[in-house]
Amino acid sequence: MIRLDNISLQLNRKTLLQDISTSFIPGEHTVILGPNGAGKSTLLRVAALGIQPTGGTISYPSVDISSQAQLSKVRTFLTQQSMFNSELTVRELVFMGRYPYYHRTPDATDIEIVENALQRFSIKHLSEQKLQFLSGGELQRTHLARVYAQLFTDEQISSIRNKFLFMDEPVNNLDIKHQEELITLATELTENGVGVVSVLHDINMALHTADKLILLKKGLLAGELNPTEITENILEDLYELPFEQTGDLIFSPKRIRSKIYQIF
């Protein structure tokens, strides 16, 4: 389990996160929801140990978190803006997910894991294509394949147990079919003992896939609850927009529709 206790972060005199305590558990999918600028990406980055908080503590039991090499083998992180050399090919980028595991040359296990990842994200036919020539969705799937390849210690699915996958807006640029495949994958990973933590903007997708929701507003924890506990009022408070429930775990904003009716 990863524990965050009283986490705060100030940057350039601005408070980005304030007194946040929560935990992430292997085998659970936690989704962070909240309006733009709420601090979702920042919280994800702090929890993945990409930025040091200015207050509070983070614990990753049984890992020396000061060792980047050890850390890369227990948690993997898909950021929104990945800065990678666009001259790399798709296969080379996916191989980067194996860097924590090999020294100079990859072995047969690394190669098998990369081939599986290329297949899993339907990018095998693009293996030799440079990143600069990929579409937005193809590039996103290549980064997903890289972090997926990083989860495996060896080719056995059991080797991903108790690891953590952090994903910032993972469905960005994905068409509906690939979005569904990603949701299926997240479920498969949690069933195999991975702790998945995602930032999503699609409330209904979050409600249907999360085991736990973390609601963030203005850098503060506005709630931590199960999807079945979400109500119209909770969403209205979070986004400052009226919502209506239109089905089982399905909510839509109210105002936009009624405004259109008022105009016409």
Phi, psi of 7 (to 5 degrees): -75, 130
Q: Applying CB under 6 A, does 36 fall inside the site for ligand ATP? A: yes
Do 172 and 141 touch, CB atoms closer than 8 A?
no
Stretch that binds ligand ATP, among 8-16, 109-117, 137-145, 230-238 (CB under 6 A): 8-16
Do 225 and 214 touch, CB atoms closer than 8 A?
no
Place of tokens 């579409």: 135
Stretch that binds ligand ATP, among 11-19, 95-103, 121-129, 242-250 (CB under 6 A): 11-19
- In the complex with ligand ATP, the residue whose CB is nearer, 34 or 195, is 34
DSSP secondary structure of 187-236:
HHHHHTT-EEEEE-S-HHHHHHH-SEEEEEETTEEEEEE-GGG--HHHHH
Query: Among 140, 179, 146, which residue's Cα sits nearest to residue 165?
Result: 146
**Min separation Cβ 44 and ligand ATP, Å:** 8
Do 216 and 193 touch, CB atoms closer than 8 A?
no
Stretch that binds ligand ATP, among 32-40, 147-155, 178-186, 221-229 (CB under 6 A): 32-40
- In the complex with ligand ATP, the residue whose CB is nearer, 69 or 241, is 241
Task: Out of 24, 33, 40, 131, point to the residue binding ligand ATP (CB under 6 A).
Answer: 40
Give the pairing type, strands 164-168 and 195-199: parallel
Task: Please list the residues that pair with 212 across neighbouring strands.
Answer: 30
Q: Applying CB under 6 A, does 38 fall inside the site for ligand ATP? A: yes
- In the complex with ligand ATP, the residue whose CB is nearer, 37 or 136, is 37
Task: Out of 7, 39, 134, 214, point to the residue binding ligand ATP (CB under 6 A).
Answer: 39
Give the pairing type, strands 243-247 and 220-225: unpaired
- In the complex with ligand ATP, the residue whose CB is nearer, 31 or 126, is 31
Q: Applying CB under 6 A, does 143 fall inside the site for ligand ATP? A: no
Task: Please list the residues that pair with 78 across neighbouring strands.
Answer: 167
Q: Applying CB under 6 A, does 34 fall inside the site for ligand ATP? A: yes
- In the complex with ligand ATP, the residue whose CB is nearer, 79 or 153, is 79
Residues near ligand ATP (CB under 6 A): 11-12, 14, 16, 34, 36-42
